[in-house]
Structure 1
């Protein structure tokens, strides 16, 4: 029997669990890069959280939840300390590795804190408020040491002089002046006036005698702090958000700078630039420079010793907008390419979450597809164009190798040839499909790319073409449209695309089409909430799968063509077994429309992308879990086996475990002991499964045995707290009555048979 159980489990359909996620971790605000010995982290705000990103893995390793406020005003981080300020006028000191608040105190400000900084010793904390005051706090002794008044409006920038012995603090507010505070006397000794717009950043020389300020008035000012005068104003011709000084006496000739004067990097509205000034003795103390873009991307550059170049380290995407499509890419599906609500494409390395940004399209990219080998892929966009991109197998860098623009409206779908990289097919809102032949040699030089022209153009539908797909042998093309039909086309000829037939049956627009990898069938998904399988021979509907509560946006074949995965605008991904029409698994990891759905070439992973900005990578685990389940039953570890079976969320698998328990000696006691040790959520699932099992006469006794344990030993108040408990219990009653009636009839029949048998024995007894 255990051998039979193993076979049953191994034949169970695939299931998926979350392997990794790419989710929003930064939506604006302050970002700090920290280097703690060999550990490198990025600290950034995201809504009401402070996220700690480990640079080497690109994963969120810690998250501090500021539950008392809607959003964080700021975070500040010296070596072992994290302090946050909230709109509730509280300052909190955190052990960020444990996500525990170690201390909290009132900020004393009458309105929220707008800026915050530590001194070089991490013993003094300065907070600048929206009320125009600055408070200084002794972090060690835990009291307020200074209350500096006199700023006009919000204090949005504060910074200590790097030489703590000077006891000087610099601040800036709405009047665009830079105030110099003497902390010994708690007085403002001067106001440095040069900027005519908000001052955004300050940077000091190592000796503390020179300071550079940047502003949104498109200038940087170099200050002599001894005379407190401006020595030079450097026009930058863009609003500057930050300035970083480079070490002095470095050779920058290899990047086109011949002067040996002071150099600093500015970051502003047009990007980052290297600027030069005639002042010496300025130094950058960091070994890396970070840039934050308007798209919430965090870019890290290494500063080498010889400064012959700036070495790119990482690019992390803090926030993806609505994800419209996602595909596996690269050797061993090591990368994914993502189309968001943007004209840029993003290529993520799954191991580190580091990203490449691909530029080329001029409007939102709507769809992607990848060629068989995984190093070449195509994209289409609202800019009416299609592009072909190639990934270098060694470096992983991606560049555009071909483009074409011949549609009259937005291009909403694209598909690649399956056998070799010979053509792509696009479908557009202009109701046409176009076949684009690719050159045999896609290598390019410089910025030149191959220009594509369509080999064939066909008026395919009466409304927008939502999806196109090429068959595994490259001879057929399928298209789905808002006109509620899918159509099959021949690609075998050299001329135009030829219509072979029309699939009719959906009540609303068709969102996706997909060919089976093993059978002569086509899958379609529609806004009517249904997924259908069609015969390619007579165009008849073979099967219909219904279960989504909203539009089904994507459909793909998995498990070597034996199962379907569908994603919908209800945020759910469902796994269907084609043979039984049964939904065997619902994957719930998204909160909005799941536009992107793709399976890896080895059929062992799935990636989904949603309008909630989340990208989820799922891994197949059924084979491993099934083997583990079989081993647990063999070792008679029934509690662990039942818990594992419930985690798979498959009623038939759980039922198999229940049957195995009921076949051992003293099964009643063992079942009672096992079920009562389950967690509350597992008991809740078990009640739901019982309602399913009870509908079948072959499984009703197992269902009733479990129900007897639950209803006998659990108080009604607890059972009624289970989600859907009333519905499940009401559904159990009619089937239970039917089973009781059937068993009663069988009992009566058996009693009559026994009576007849006894009579026959008496009648046939020999006379005495």
Structure 2
């Protein structure tokens, strides 16, 4: 809400984010079978990105906040399985963002890779300990434990012909192992690469395998003879390989004949089509001004077999994902921007945003789709006078320079800052230039005589002022000019013209924290919501006091739960239990609650059960819920598994404590009986 300072009447305004760029620290990306979604990771989260809008449709997050080490989307797009550093596997209904199953991975170290078979029944997980586990996700048990790999198993793939029951794996020893799942034995090790294999692609008939590696070669294997048919030198480290479908016409790319052709993506950021029979490159598609494909990037095919859309996803650098179809770049997503230094709206209707980072690239985002275009070559801040005749540039040498655009001659130099100049801006209505520096000041200069008109010290950030905007409400000399300073991690409005604050319907906030957000002003809405919430809170508090006084426990408990006051709810339950028929009354009260109220009560019990003073109340509530609700009903509650797992250890402790107390009381009774016997003998 808006807060007024008595010193300078500064108003702080809240903005809600309605467009947010996603992060991608991708060790893996995957495209869905229907080619509508891209699945990628972000620390402890898996983001499902809708391709046509560029927005995060679903975000699946780990409860334990452990980073996800691997994930796999089933071929039927129904299941998503994630592995975390906590050595847990989680099966998700990703469309509902709900965890349907959780189990231990059995691996001693984190899972590095995983994949589904074509029936979405078997899941293979490769661990950093060199072991491979196979899981039946339908019947929910581990079917195989394969051991003989050396080091990290970073790649696992099922043979597309399920009748063969074969699994292919690659580890750091550079070999490709073939496992017979009938006998759980390694039947062959394919050795051709001098570095670990990065991708595998199978021919439609299942007789040929193409493997790629960072040793700058691709190997074509005859799976019947278990031997190399041909080695294709590609002259770059290859991160991914995809077979071209033989049912489609790719003659425009130089594909002639019916031989196997495959696509590679490597360290040079180029897509190449190769003829496997002649080991010749027949087509090359370069990304305009593309950087190299970094080591650890990914090149993944869509799972669909539709000939109309042979889509692939390419990660050219951390956080940058390209979506291709038929070798035409459809859209580029950037989710990780590094340190953001400046941001501006572009276009007639502010349809785009241009972002400057700590690299030589400018990133232009289309707000409607989050698609990104990359511009290269800029190294400093500059601005152009409204008449397009003058150009001002700022530099880290603590100066700004004024240039004539007609002949690019230097007209003058503005000096005076003690640190580098981050931003320069011409006034849209006056012949003055403002420049912001890392020393925390903004200086306004008259461009006719290069004299300093005004110096403003803004202590909004320890790192100085990163950017600012002029607003065209009035000229500067009428003292009604509004500045918007945007520093590292904070936004400060010039206090003299706060009445202009509400004319901003949109604002771009940037932070020195690797992200930016496009926002809209929701101050009045939040004020109204907060006031309504406070009024409702006061009314409910009064109602709760009246209900407790009148001993209307059912309504009192419902109000306490709606106010999210576990302590008050505990007080109500204690008063019910202290009655003469407390157990029956508690049972009647709890059974009258709605399902969501019972769910909240179960959540409160987890907290109450951690304290010996309130554990009996928690156990009384649990007894009623577990007695009258079926397991199916309880499992429908949100995070039920987590709550029940949290209840078990403390319940065991309380049971042990009560057992010790009972044992101690029996000892007292024993001593009392002995004392009576001894007293009788003495008499």
Do these two structures clear the TM 0.5 threshold for a shared fold by scoring above it?
yes
**Cα 1:112–1:478 shift into 2, 3 Å:** closer
Give the conservation status (yes or no) of the 8 Å contact 2:322–2:331: yes
Other structure's SS at 1:332 match? coil
Q: CA deviation at 1:206?
A: 0.8
Q: 1:257 to 1:460 in 2, by over 3 A?
A: farther
- 1-structure distance, mates of 2:512, 2:490: 12
Residue matched to 1:351: 368
Q: Counterpart of 1:456?
A: 411
Q: SS at 1:74's partner residue?
A: strand
Q: C-alpha distance in 2, partners of 1:74/1:150? A: 21
Q: Using the alignment, how far apart are the partners of 1:149 and 1:417 within structure 2?
A: 69
Q: Is the 8 A contact 2:470 2:483 kept in 1?
A: no
The aligned residue for residue 421 of structure 2 is 465
CA-CA distance at 1:325 after TM superposition: 0.3
For 1:616-650, what per-residue CA distance to the aligned partner results, in whole angstroms no more than 9, with x for missing partners? 11224568x59xxxxxxxxxxxxxx9535578xxx
Residue 175 of structure 1 aligns to a residue whose secondary structure is: coil
Q: Which stretch of structure 1 is more off in the superposition, 132-141 or 191-200?
A: 132-141
Structure 2: gaps of 5 or more residues:
1-9, 279-300, 547-558, 565-683
- What's the offset of the Cα at 1:19? 4.3
Alignment partner of 1:573 is 2:529: no
CA distance 1:614–1:675, change in 2 (3 Å): farther
Q: CA deviation at 1:461?
A: 2.3
Match of 1:616 in 2: 517
**Aligned equivalent of 1:416:** 384
Shift of 1:580: 6.9
Counterpart selection for 1:430 from 397, 413, 418: 397
Structure-2 change in CA distance of 1:568 and 1:13 (3 Å): closer
Inter-partner Cα distance in structure 1 for 2:267 and 2:315 = 11
Aligned to 2:265: 267
Q: Give, in whole Å, the separation in 2 of the partners of 1:614 and 1:513.
A: 18
TM-score in terms of structure 1 length:
0.60
Q: 2:324 aligns with which of 301, 325, 340?
A: 301
1:189 counterpart residue number: 187
What's the offset of the Cα at 1:22? 2.5
Is the alpha carbon distance of 1:258 and 1:644 closer, same or farther for their aligned partners in structure 2, counting shifts above 3 Å? same
Equivalent residue number for residue 291 of structure 1: 314
Distance in 1 (CA, whole Å) between partners of 2:271 and 2:346 is 33
Alpha-carbon distance, 1:113 to partner: 1.6
Is the counterpart of residue 64 in structure 1 residue 60 in structure 2?
yes
Deviations 1:429-455 (A, max 9, x none): 33432223446xxxxxxxxxxxx7234
Alpha-carbon distance, 1:197 to partner: 0.4
> Cα 1:203–1:71, aligned 2, differ >3 Å: closer, same or farther?
same
Summarize deviations over 1:196-228 as a string: whole Å, max 9, x none: 101000001111111100001110001111211
Deviations 1:447-473 (A, max 9, x none): xxxxx7234132522644344321223
**Contact 1:21–1:614 (Cα < 8 Å) also in 2:** no
Report the alpha carbon displacement of residue 70 of structure 1 after superposing the two structures with TM.
2.5
Superimposed CA distance per residue, residues 232-262 of structure 1 (whole angstroms, 9 cap, x where no aligned partner) = 1111111111111112375545446667743
Q: For 1:99-129, what per-residue CA distance to the aligned partner results, in whole angstroms no more than 9, with x for missing partners?
A: 2211122222222222111100011111112
What is the correspondence of 1:712-751 to structure 2 with a 5 Å cutoff? Answer: none
The answer as to 2:69 corresponding to 1:73 is yes
1-structure distance, mates of 2:173, 2:434: 64
| Equivalent pair of 2:399/2:417 in contact (CA under 8 Å) | no
Q: Does 1:178 align with 2:176?
A: yes
1:607 aligns with 2:508: yes
Q: Per the alignment, do residues 515 and 171 of structure 1 end up closer, same or farther by CA in structure 2, a change over 3 Å counting?
A: closer
Task: Give the deviation of 1:171 after TM superposition.
Answer: 0.8
Match of 1:643 among 520, 526, 529: 529
Query: Is 1:499 the counterpart of 2:385 in the alignment?
Result: no
Q: CA deviation at 1:578?
A: 2.8
Structure 1 match to 2:335: 318
Secondary structure of the residue aligned to 2:130 is coil
Q: Can you list the C-alpha shifts for 1:669-692, whole angstroms capped at 9, x where unaligned?
A: 9997899999979xxxxxxxxxxx
Counterpart CA distance in 2 for 1:671 and 1:132 is: 59
- Any residues of structure 2 matched to 1:626-665 within 5 Å, and which? 643=529, 645=531
Quote the Cα distance in structure 1 between the aligned partners of 2:150 and 2:469: 64
2:25 is equivalent to residue 49 of structure 1 = no
Number of residues of Structure 1 aligned to a counterpart in Structure 2: 509
TM-score where L is the length of structure 2: 0.67
Q: Is the contact between residue 27 and residue 319 of structure 1 (CA under 8 Å) also seen in structure 2?
A: yes
Listed as ranges, the matches of 1:131-280 within 5 Å are: 131-248=129-246, 252=250, 254-255=252-253, 261-279=259-277
Mapped to 1, the partners of 2:436 and 2:539 lie a distance apart of 57
Secondary structure in 2 matching 1:578: helix
Over residues 529-576 of structure 1, what are the superposed CA-to-partner deviations in whole Å (9 max), with x where a residue is unaligned?
Answer: xxxxxxx59xxxx7xxxxxxxxxxxxxxxxxx676544444x333456
How many angstroms apart in 2 are the aligned matches of 1:34 and 1:326? 33
CA distance in 2, matches of 1:505, 1:565: 14
Name the CA shift for 1:646/1:438 in 2 (closer, same or farther; >3 Å).
farther
Query: Following TM superposition, by how much is the alpha carbon of 1:27 offset from its aligned partner in structure 2, in angstroms?
Result: 0.9
Counterparts of 1:190 and 1:669, CA distance in 2: 74
Q: Verify: 1:334 aligned to 2:351, yes or no.
A: yes
Flag the 1:672–1:27 CA change in 2: closer, same or farther, 3 A: same
The 1:126/1:331 distance shift into structure 2, 3 A limit, reads same
Residues 347/506 of structure 1: CA separation in 2 closer, same or farther (3 Å cut):
closer
Aligned CA distance change for structure 1 residues 243 and 428 (closer, same or farther; 3 Å) = same
Return the match for 2:472 from 517, 527, 546: 517
Distance in 2 between residues matched to 1:670 and 1:262, nearest whole Å: 72
CA distance in 2, matches of 1:66, 1:520: 53
Root-mean-square deviation (Å): 3.8
Task: Tell me, in whole angstroms, the C-alpha distance in 1 between the residues paired with 2:429 and 2:412.
Answer: 21
Structure 1 residues 218 and 618, CA, compared in 2 at 3 Å: closer, same or farther? Answer: same
Match of 2:295 in 1: none
Query: Would the aligned equivalents of 1:169 and 1:181 in 2 still touch at CA under 8 Å?
Result: yes
Q: CA deviation at 1:505?
A: 6.7
| Alpha-carbon distance in structure 2 between the residues aligned to 1:506 and 1:622 | 24
**CA separation of 1:34 and 1:457: change in aligned 2, threshold 3 A:** same
SS at match of 1:217: coil
The whole-number CA distance in structure 1 between the counterparts of 2:333 and 2:508 is 19
Evaluate the alpha carbon distance shift between residue 476 and residue 680 of structure 1 in structure 2; reply closer, same or farther with a 3 A threshold: farther
User: Relative to 1, partners in 2 of residues 1:279 and 1:471: Cα closer, same or farther, differing over 3 Å?
Assistant: same
